[in-house]
Amino acid sequence: MSETESVLELRAVTKCFGEGDARIEVLKGLDVHVTRGEFVAIMGPSGSGKSTLLNIIGCLDHPTTGAYFLDGEDVGKLSDNRLSTIRNERIGFVFQSFNLVSQLTVLENVEVPFVYRRPHPSGVRERCRALLDSVGLGHRLKHLPSQLSGGERQRVAIARALANDPVLILADEPTGNLDTETGEDVLRLLEGLHAEGRTIVMITHDADVAARANRCIHIQDGRIGEAA
Amino acid sequence: MRLLSMALRNLRGYALRSFLTTLGVVFGVASVITMLAIGAGAEQALLDEIGRLGIGNIILNTVKPPEATQDKGGGGGGWVHEYGLNYKDLAMIRNTVPGVGRALPVHRRNPRVWHKSRKVDATAYAVKPDHLKLFGYEVVRGRPLTHLDEASLRQVCLVRSGLIQQLKSFQDPLGMDLLINGLWYRIVGVLKDDAFRGYAASALGINSKTKEIYVPYRTEIAKRGTREHRRRQGSFEATDVKLHQIVIEVENPDEVVKVAQMVRRVLTKNHDDEDWKMVVPLEVLRQRRKTQQVFTYAMVAIASISLLVGGIGIANIMLATVTERTREIGIRRALGAKRRHIVAQFLTETTVLSTLGGILGVAVSFGLISLMQNFTGWDAIVKPISIVLALTISMGTGIVFGIFPARRAAMLDPIAALRHE
């Protein structure tokens, strides 16, 4: 890696699905570069390939061709197990539909990433409690997700994304399921994290939301459009 | 530990479903344990029954040959059927077969027994005093037969307590006189009413319908002889059986089979007819036990089928659960769970489920067994090993039938799983 400041670098990434005649090329050679501390929005209409891009960035999927460097490590060809470890240690996910485990309490949901750590780190409970405090949910630790409002659930999800102290926070339409007001809370939270120096990549199709980021990458039909 | 508490929590979340899922295992385990307990109980009953004959003993019985060919002229113009074991046999067994401890003669008679004007159904056994000790007869009142009774030809007897009830007398039975085939015998002792059952009774030639009376061997033989007259079809028929039974006590119980072979050889030489039969309790016990075990294993195998069905039930529900919890699996994968973590999670759940089912099954089996004992009176013994076995099997069921759903869960594509509604 030439630049140590780079958190995320995609080089000529393509992604194809299907075989033979049914083969569809979803990503057609993308170069994306995100440096440490950036707040980047990825925009594009549905079907543009932004979800596929997110899956690759989130280490949930491999690119068909091209290279992906996360925090200086080539993760493009790693095994399923290694990718799991990387997700566990370096990436914090915030999803549109929150994706909390419904049987677990708020506190336990935040602790989930640590369940898969070996050896089991100490002080997890205290750390998670502090994180929930910082998103204003210190009084809801024993609640189940179903007992919370949408905004509260997304704040739990953000606390969870921060739990493993990730190098990259990946937000997939974090405000998509929220009304304007609570969406605004969540955006402010993300901006706060950015202010703390965290790297955030956010996917959205809402131009107003995208405007909150310091850079916007447009994706159109599997290619990068003009940067805003 | 974390896996375990997670599994328990998930199962509690679907308490009713978990309970119903595990029901198959519950009944499977319950029936396996119950079958094992019945088997163990039956084996114990067998041991009690045949064990009372003494595994160090050999019993020889006289049997009536199909045709009594050895007719010899007797007194009174009739024929005397003479067959069965005789004094020569007894002497030869005592003197020529090594390893024989005591060899005790028994003479049996179906007498007419009278007490005052009341007739009693009974069988009289003329036995040596040692005979009662050998088979562990328990005298509840009075005294046992003694060598002195024999030596001085006393006319005394021991009776089963059941016989006293038949006398319908309110007197003290001790000292009562019974007229047995025209000879007066005085009751000196009462035996506990624990007659031999089943095979043991038949091996000793005891008819469980009639009550036993035991008289000193020498008294009976000296005063009554061995010949028996019976009126039949208008003419008298006499039979002369010297000995109805010889009980051999083998000095070293390990040599029973060897001694039995030698005794058999002696008797085969002495007798042309098949007018005797040998019972070796040890061999009978072994044989019966083997049969019993085969039966038990068959029953357990059948019971295991319900365990299998229970396991399939668990697999089925877990597959449904995996589909239902696809989203959760996706979340966990996104947060860094490896495939093996997912396998471990679901496998723990099924194993905990089936093990709990197993524990519940043990509890149910105890209920079932006590219920069964109340209604049928069968013996049942729950051995600790069968509980351990059943729990191990139920745990194994969880693992075996959990692997498929767990692997299925782990192989889910995390991206698709996350999108799953």
What pLDDT, on a 0 to 100 scale, did the predictor assign at position B405?
A: 92
What pLDDT, on a 0 to 100 scale, did the predictor assign at position A117?
A: 85
B235 and B308 co-located in one domain: no
Interface touch B336/A113, C-beta < 8 Å: yes
pLDDT tens digit string along B368-410? 999 988 888 778 888 899 899 889 988 998 999 999 999 999 9
B238 and B120 co-located in one domain: yes
> pLDDT band for position A228 (50/70/90)?
very low
B159 and B259 co-located in one domain: yes
B89 and B231 co-located in one domain: yes
B264 and B316 co-located in one domain: no
B120 and B8 co-located in one domain: no
For residue B268, the surrounding DSSP H or E stretch is helix B256-270
Interface touch A164/B418, C-beta < 8 Å: no
B265 and B125 co-located in one domain: yes
Q: Find the CB nearest B334 among A80, A87, A102.
A: A87
Minimum distance, in Å, between the CA of residue A99 and any CA atom of chain B: 6
DSSP E strands, B116-153? 118-120, 122-127, 139-142
Q: Find the CB nearest B337 among A84, A99, A164.
A: A84
Domain assignment present for B344? yes
Looking at per-residue pLDDT, the higher value among B197 and A149 belongs to: A149
Domain region containing B238: 64-274
For residue B189, the surrounding DSSP H or E stretch is strand B183-191
pLDDT tens digit string along B28-41? 999 989 988 988 88
Q: Are the CB atoms for B331 and B418 separated by under 8 Å?
A: yes
For residue B8, what is the nearest residue in chain A, using CA coordinates? A103
Looking at per-residue pLDDT, the higher value among B80 and B114 belongs to: B114
Domain assignment present for B59? no
Interface touch B336/A61, C-beta < 8 Å: no
Of the three residues B274, B304, B335, the one that is the final residue of a domain is B274
Query: Structurally, what CATH architecture does the domain formed by A37-59+79-224 represent?
Result: 3-Layer(aba) Sandwich (3.40)
Token pair listed for A179: 């009304």
> pLDDT band for position B76 (50/70/90)?
very low
B33 and B94 co-located in one domain: no
Minimum distance, in Å, between the CA of residue B338 and any CA atom of chain A: 6
In chain B, how many domains are there?
2
Minimum distance, in Å, between the CA of residue A93 and any CA atom of chain B: 8
Give first-to-last CA distance, chain A, whole Å. Answer: 26
Largest interatomic CA distance in chain B = 111
Mean pLDDT of chain B: 85
CA-CA distance, B260 to B279, in Å (whole number)?
A: 9
Task: Please list every residue in chain B whose beta carbon sits closer than 8 Å to the beta carbon of residue A113.
Answer: 335-336
Domain assignment present for B55? no
Q: Examine the pLDDT at B70 and tell me if it is beyond 60.
A: no
B163 and B219 co-located in one domain: yes
B80 and B208 co-located in one domain: yes
Interface touch A112/B335, C-beta < 8 Å: yes
Looking at per-residue pLDDT, the higher value among B59 and A118 belongs to: B59
Exposure b/e, B369-388, CB count within 10 A at least 16 = b:
beebeeeeeebbbbeeebbe
Interface touch A103/B9, C-beta < 8 Å: yes
Domain assignment present for B281? no
Domain assignment present for B58? no
Q: Examine the pLDDT at B68 and tell me if it is beyond 60.
A: no
Token pair listed for A51: 């979800």
Of the three residues B221, B245, B274, the one that is the final residue of a domain is B274
Of the three residues B252, B274, B296, the one that is the final residue of a domain is B274
pLDDT tens digit string along A119-169? 788 888 899 999 999 888 889 899 999 999 988 999 999 999 999 889 899
Minimum distance, in Å, between the CA of residue A116 and any CA atom of chain B: 6
